[in-house]
Amino acid sequence: MSFPLNPEQLEAVNFREGYAVVQSGPGSGKTRTTVERVHSILEEGYPPDNILALTFTREAALEMAKRAKLPEDQKIFRTFHSFCLELVHRERDKLPFQLLHAPPEPGQQRKLIGTLCRENRLDFKGLVSYISAMKRKGLSTDEAMEEALGAKGLHLAVAYKKYELKCREEGWLDFDSMLVESVKLLENNPEVLSRWQYKFVLVDEAQDTDDIQWKLVELLSKENKNVFAVGDEEQLIYAWRGAQPNGLSKFGERFPGSRTIFLFRNYRSTRQIVEFCKKFAPKKSELIDRMVSEVGDGPVPVVRLFGSDSDEASKILSSVVEPERTAILTRTNRQLSRFENACIDRGIKYNLLGRSGFWVQPEVKYLLAYAQATEFPSDAAVKSIIQSPYRETKYLKKKDLISALDTHAKSEKVVTGKSTPYIKLMTDPAILRQFTDQQCDNIKRAAQFIRSFRQPGVTPTAALQNTLDRADVKVYYETEEESDGDNDAIENINELSKIATRYKTVPEFLDFARKAIAASRKSKQPRLTLSTVHRSKGREFDFVFVTGINEGMFPHKKGDINEEKRIFYVACTRAAKRLTVSCFGKPSCFLETLLNEKENKICEIVSGEKQSEGPVWVRSQALLGFENLS
Ligand SMILES: Nc1ncnc2c1ncn2[C@@H]1O[C@H](COP(=O)(O)OP(=O)(O)OP(=O)(O)O)[C@@H](O)[C@H]1O
Ligand SMILES: [Mg+2]
């Protein structure tokens, strides 16, 4: 059932001429208003290709498409990246270079950056983030040169220039360049610009939009001057990827004469949840002060304190009553593994949101493949190892090699009914023929490397340790790959090592891992939802558990405290009817104040010990001295 829009929402939906920005707190109907606006424009008879609704993450784009109930192949709700990928491909003949690979193969790109680092005495991560920052700021290689400060700055700028030259030569367009080149195509080619004009441009989760994306929005709306953006600055959780705080407040500078609409009514959460969230709002503001629940009363949020991580996982799972209306949220994928594993042990089916999930992370997949290679290098394990970015397999032409192996195996199977194992094929002249001498040497060395892991009977712990040592796995993550907002590869590797200690043999360990990977497959069936907070953005669930609010975990020890506060706020504001926040061991600063308050009216606090006795709710005063629980 769809409830009528309130007057401010209606104003936003029916706003037709010019620029408008909706700023409001969580659950106030920003996404609903955006979707309704698209419907109302379509109902007025405008064709779908007049409308473009952009957002930053795939999950948010899918959420809008789902709510709009438009066909799956619709092209209205898009991410900035998928839109730009299409634009550069369709306009490739206008690019000042030949486009061959967008995006390039990671191995090849890595090799280039590695070479540039050696030549210019730079560190890998530093150069990658410098190049990305320059592109997002819209600075060309020459402009970067002019801006460069000191010897290090100059080295970075030189490396950036060489990187771009090589990308041109190879026909590569990396992720940042897809946006930059789209903007350039539109700026420099009047015909391209006129081909890509939309009558209505909409942006959801606009707080996560960075400068170059705003520039793109300006260009796509140049003719019709109609932009409608909705967002909440307190929910900005992608600052680390270049989104600018205050991007929404500056909407008026970018789009002069714009109308700002504020929404204050929260239609998602009960009064008690709204009050709790207000207390945890990252900053005080009028928008937050004036937020009121339109839902009515419900139970007060509960803070649960557990003695151990396994206690938290198992007791929370036991208190799930309606799984399909419940979400368990964690700060990182590593923490999610506790819930995934506990669900598998209990036979509880779940759905992971977006790219969240511990067992599906690439570093976990690669290490499991190496573990498999200690028993025997199955074809699936060989393929995963080829894809891994570690020693000996780092610079392989991965896609070409895998496709050569797959094609050969397939045709062999048709003729003889069976196929040669991939590990053997890697040194077969029939495969190697299509590669250069240098590449052949690399492939043979990689095959030898994979074979050298064979050590049947070794324990899972020894198998993992051997891989970590010999393939320089941690060095790779420390020096070359940035951690994601909700994913830290080294944390995941440590967690996998911890899980491995529970199994005596590699086959037993891999059996569990296989079950976990199978359980990670998405299903259309409604089930319990497990997710990191990042992937749950924009979503809502009747019952929400925000878990692991422990020191060092949430706020994450590597995170910026303001961003961490916003992440926590996003997490709590997903709840509609009941919110439970929990920790084990030492509670983090997020809970400290609350726990130290003499009288607290916004939540109930329940100790782990009491919980084992049944649902006895204990007030905070009774809990002084809870630190002993760990
Ligand atoms: N006028 C309304 N009457 C009743 N329900 C509404 C109204 N407007 C929105 N809702 C409902 O409130 C919930 C929250 O709306 P929505 O997800 O659009 O909020 P949002 O502002 O986008 O939240 P977030 O900031 O978390 O993305 C949805 O279930 C939506 O259907
Ligand atoms: Mg929304």
Residue 319: count of CB within 10 angstroms of its CB: 15
Question: What pLDDT does 58 receive?
Answer: 87
Q: What is the pLDDT of residues 352-379, one digit of tens each?
A: 999 999 999 999 999 999 999 999 999 9
Report whether the peptide linkage leading into residue 555 is cis, meaning its omega lies within 30 degrees of zero. Answer: yes
Distance (Å) from CA 550 to ligand 2 centroid: 27
Give the mutation target among 267, 533, 537 for probing the ligand 1 site: most ligand atoms within 8 A of CB.
267
Residue 108 has pLDDT above 90, yes or no: no
pLDDT band at 613 (very low <50, low <70, confident <90, very high): very low
Mean pLDDT computed over 507-515: 96
Distance (Å) from CA 74 to ligand 1 centroid: 22
Distance (Å) from CA 174 to ligand 2 centroid: 29
Residue appearing with tokens 């709306």: 221
Mean pLDDT computed over 520-531: 93
Cβ contacts of 528 within 8 Å, gap of 6 or more: 320, 323, 324, 326, 327, 328, 343, 348, 349, 350, 351
Q: What is the pLDDT of residues 9-45, one digit of tens each?
A: 999 999 999 999 999 999 999 999 999 999 999 999 9
Residue 55 Cβ < 6 Å to ligand 1: no
Question: What pLDDT does 313 receive?
Answer: 96
Q: What is the pLDDT of residues 619-629, one digit of tens each?
A: 332 333 333 32
Give the mutation target among 268, 292, 567 for probing the ligand 1 site: most ligand atoms within 8 A of CB.
268
Q: What is the pLDDT of residues 453-478, one digit of tens each?
A: 999 999 999 999 999 999 999 999 99
Question: What pLDDT does 618 receive?
Answer: 32
In order, the DSSP letters of 406-457 are HHHHHHHHHHHSS---HHHHTT-HHHHTTS-HHHHHHHHHHHHHHHTT--TT
Residue 187 has pLDDT above 80, yes or no: yes
Question: What pLDDT does 238 receive?
Answer: 84
Residue of higher predicted confidence among 326 and 139? 326
Residue 569 has pLDDT above 80, yes or no: yes
- SS3 at position 146: helix
Residue 193 has pLDDT above 80, yes or no: yes
Average pLDDT, the chain: 91
Tell me the sheet residues that pair with 304: 582, 606
Question: What pLDDT does 480 receive?
Answer: 87
Residue 617 has pLDDT above 80, yes or no: no
pLDDT band at 121 (very low <50, low <70, confident <90, very high): confident
CA quadruple 41, 46, 47, 49: dihedral, nearest 10:
-70
Q: Is the backbone of residue 585 left (phi > 0), alpha (psi -120 to 50) or beta? A: left
Residue 597 has pLDDT above 70, yes or no: yes
Residue of higher predicted confidence among 630 and 301? 301
